[in-house]
Amino acid sequence: MASLKFEDIEKNYDDLTVVKDLNLEINDEEFIVFVGPSGCGKSTTLRIIAGLEEISKGNLYIGDKSVNQVEPKDRNVSMVFQNYALFPHLNVYDNIAFGLRARKVPEKEIKELVTNAAGILGIKNLLARKPKELSGGQQQRVALGRSIVRKPEVFLMDEPLSNLDANLKVQMRSEITKLHKELKTTTIYVTHDQIEAMTMADRIVIMKDGVIQQVGTPKEVYNYPNNVFVGKFIGQPAMNFINGILKEDAFIFGEYMLPLPIQQIDFLRNYIGQELILGIRPEDIHYEGDYSLQKSSLNIKVDKVELLGSEAYAYMNVAGEEIISRINPRLDIKSQQNLNFYFDLEWAHFFNPKSKNRLRKTELKNVVNQ
Amino acid sequence: MYFLALLWVIPLLWLIWTAIRPSQLATSLSFSVDFTLDNFIDAWQKAPFAQYYLNTFYIVFGILIVQLITATLAAYVFARLNFWGKKVIFILILVQLMIPIDVLIFPNYNVLRDLSLLNTKLGIMIPYFATAFGIFLLRQRFKSVPYELEEVAKLEGCGILETIWKVYVPLAKPTYIAFGLVSVSYHWSSFLWPLIVTDSAQNRPLTVGLSLFAQSFETGAQWAEVSAATFMVIFPLLLAFFIFQKEFISSFMQSGIK
């Protein structure tokens, strides 16, 4: 039973509150990713679980046990650090065996466990080497080996892939996911990379300034962001946000008037005459030939075009803000052209410009109060 | 360059030369092929050098072992822990480095007398058990150990002492070697303090024994035998330097590369 429960967790350093009002339940065998910008409190939260930071207020439960006062070594968790934290004076075998030796496991059993873990991670041939003789990816595997060999209840990972190059990152991502499927251990993973979060997580926890912004599956978080921050943080390129005013049947921004579909007019009836923020993802703004016949299409000048190979993005300026549209990479679109862009509002959202929260049709269960 | 090295080595060469020449030829400049070990045997028999050797070994290595323990523990505390008054205490320890050792001879003597430790090897050793130099060196070294290594040790089941022993000590090996060499060579050659504390051959180290031996000849200095005795006193240190010169150099290079 390796579920976790955070109850009103708060962490303070003198006057600075780094984590606030943290309430969260993590289920057994889940792969949870904490994501957010630097300084949002995600690493601190991870270290609180490990016991490397003390809890200022609140309760933490691992399984059914309250672990506030429990020493790190007795919490049955293991941690992979961003810099691997391998002991430079020990070889790979001794590094992996370190925790087992500290717990006085007999050497014969240690040999079996270490060889097994090394086999899973494909590093059996490196057991005699010292860390400085290994590449970054190999060192990362040794760090993973050390964390799994003890068979703890929870794996903690603190930005383990940050120091690897792009290709290695992709490879290690799938290896960690594979490892998780094989070992079925509850894993809590911290990163600032939203791609890692989207591709690896069962559920994502987005944090900003010490407060949870949203908890949900990658799909939920992508399609129904709780607020502007989440909308901007998840997804690449980021969601477009346009400030404007809601009129009876259109959203007005700058010199543009965007007609709205009927169902949304019902939902937004209370907001007519108010300033709102429209959030719409680049893939929902289309240019595919001549859309001038469509109702929700606007004629906008393209500032520049970025070609990534399999995708292309058109950058435009509306009402003083830059917006991005994903376009067919095979089309020949030049900058400074005026084109008709169709705004598909099925997955777009409106946000309150003061609270930055999303306007909702129904109340969704979540930890953030509007 | 080589000329300077030659200049430095000349007294040592003269010492060895005089020690292995028969005593009549001690100060003569003849280059006859007349070598003897008699001087060594004579000196060994005239004064209890065996006892002196034992005393010196006991004192030097006794001090070193206790220093290693106290310096390691203190260095860890100042490198990693926080407590009220930490800065003040650390400054006090650094102050010890600045006080000339001779100033402390009289107060230390009085303390030994009150503890009834005069004329004992323990008396010679006690003032040196805590070493500010060692604490300083090790603290610097411990501070450069990535803190995450300690956190891993904590997570993996080590208490504080186990963490120090398994993580910090192995990573400070060059520092320990450097400090060990400094401590051993200092205390092996230390003269004034042991001279004041001891007055019997039972507890006298080699330095004091040698000076008494050199002054004991009524008919004037017996250069051959004194040279032999001197050589016996410095020989272990010379040997240590030859054996450890690689460690010496590599330890200083390692601590420089960061």
The residue ranges of every structural domain in chain A are 4-232, 233-351
Flag if A98 and B156 touch (Cβ within 8 Å): yes
- In the prediction, which pLDDT does A368 show? 32
At a CB cut-off of 8 Å and minimum separation 6, what does A330 contact?
none
- Which positions in chain A touch B170 (Cβ < 8 Å)? 89
In a domain, B37, yes or no: yes
pLDDT, tens only, A45-90: 999 999 999 999 999 999 888 999 999 989 999 999 999 999 999 9
Phi/psi at A258 (nearest 5 deg)? -105, 110
> Is B147 an interface residue toward A (CB < 8 Å)?
no
Owner of token pair 């409190």? A41
Instruction: Please report the DSSP string for chain B in residue order.
Output: -HHHHHHHHHHHHHHHHHHTS-GGGTT-----S---SHHHHHHHHHTTHHHHHHHHHHHHHHHHHHHHHHHHHHHHHHHH---TTHHHHHHHHHHHHHS-GGGGHHHHHHHHHHTT-TTSHHHHHGGGSS-HHHHHHHHHHHHTS-HHHHHHHHHTT--HHHHIIIIIHHHTHHHHHHHHHHHHHHHHS--HHHHHH--STTT--HHHHHHHHHHT-TTS--HHHHHHHHHHHHHHHHHHHHHHHHHHHHHHHHHH--
| pLDDT averaged over every residue in chain A | 88
Check if B170 contacts A (Cβ < 8 Å): yes
Beta bridge partners of A275: A245
Does residue B156 form part of some domain?
yes
pLDDT 10s digits, A127-184: 999 999 999 899 999 999 999 999 999 999 999 999 899 899 999 999 999 999 999 9
Task: Give the pLDDT of residue A226.
Answer: 93
The domain that holds B97 is classified in CATH as: 1.10.3720.10
Distance from CA of B21 to the nearest CA of A (A): 50
Hey, is the C-beta of A83 within 8 angstroms of any chain B C-beta? yes
Please give the average pLDDT of every successive group of 10 residues along chain B, which has 258 residues.
Answer: 85 83 70 74 81 90 94 94 92 86 88 89 90 90 93 91 94 89 88 89 86 73 79 85 77 51
> Cα–Cα distance between A338 and A292 in angstroms, integer?
12
Residue position matching structure tokens 């090996």: B173
Closest partner residue to A88 (CB to CB) among B155, B157, B171 is: B171
B67 in a structural domain: yes
CB-based contact B170 A50, cutoff 8 Å: no
Contact of A79 with chain B, judged by CB distance below 8 Å, is answered with yes
pLDDT given at position A95: 95
**pLDDT at B33 (0 to 100):** 67
Residue B153 contacts A where some CB pair is shorter than 8 Å: yes
Best interface-test mutation with A: which of B156, B163, B168 has the largest number of A CBs within 10 A?
Answer: B156
**Rg, Å, chain B Cα set:** 22
Q: What percent of chain A has pLDDT over 70?
A: 93
On whether residue B145 sits in a domain, the answer given is yes
pLDDT digits over A234-291, tens only?
998 999 999 999 887 788 898 888 887 554 566 677 788 889 899 999 998 888 665 4
Between these two residues, A234 and A296, which has the higher pLDDT value?
A234
Amino acid at B20: I
Query: Given this model, what pLDDT does residue A365 score?
Result: 32
- On whether residue B6 sits in a domain, the answer given is no
Answer yes or no: do B154 and A72 touch at CB < 8 A: yes
Instruction: Output the pLDDT for position A58.
Output: 93
Of the candidates B146, B148, B162, the beta carbon closest to that of A102 is on: B162
A72 touches chain B (CB under 8 A): yes
pLDDT at residue A370, as a whole number: 30
Asked, for residue B129, whether it belongs to a domain, the answer is: yes
* CATH architecture of the domain formed by A233-351: Beta Barrel (2.40)
DSSP H or E segment with residue B196: helix B192-197
Instruction: Output the pLDDT for position A363.
Output: 34
- Chain B interface mutation, best of A70, A87, A95, A147, highest count of B Cβ atoms under 10 Å: A87
What burial letters (b/e) apply to B60-82, b meaning 16+ CB within 10 Å?
A: bebbbebbbeebbebbbbbbbee
Q: Is residue B58 part of a domain?
A: yes
Chain B residue numbers touching A52 (CB-CB < 8 A): 151, 154-155
Closest of A223, A213, A191, A186 to residue A202, by C-alpha: A186
Are the beta carbons of B151 and A52 separated by less than 8 Å?
A: yes
Q: Could you tell me the residue range of the domain that residue B249 belongs to?
A: 12-256
Q: Which H or E run includes B5?
A: helix B2-19
The minimum CA-CA distance between A129 and chain B, rounded to whole Å, is: 17
Number of domains chain B contains = 1
Give residue A130's pLDDT. Answer: 93
- pLDDT exceeds cutoff 80 at A354: yes
The closest of B199, B185, B52, B53 to B112, measured between CA atoms, is B199
Residue A294: pLDDT band with limits 50, 70, 90: low
Structure tokens at A283: 């893939």
A312 CB within 8 Å of a chain B CB: no
Residue type present at position A322: E
A77 reaches B (C-beta below 8 A): yes
What CATH topology corresponds to A4-232?
Rossmann fold (3.40.50)
Give the residue on A whose Cα is nearest the Cα of B155. Answer: A73
d(CA B1, CA A77): 61
Is the whole model's pTM more than 0.90, yes or no?
Answer: no
Please count the residue pairs, one from chain A and one from chain B, whose beta carbons lie less than 8 angstroms apart: 56
Looking at chain A, the whole-number percentage of residues with pLDDT higher than 90 is 66
Q: How many residues does chain B have?
A: 258
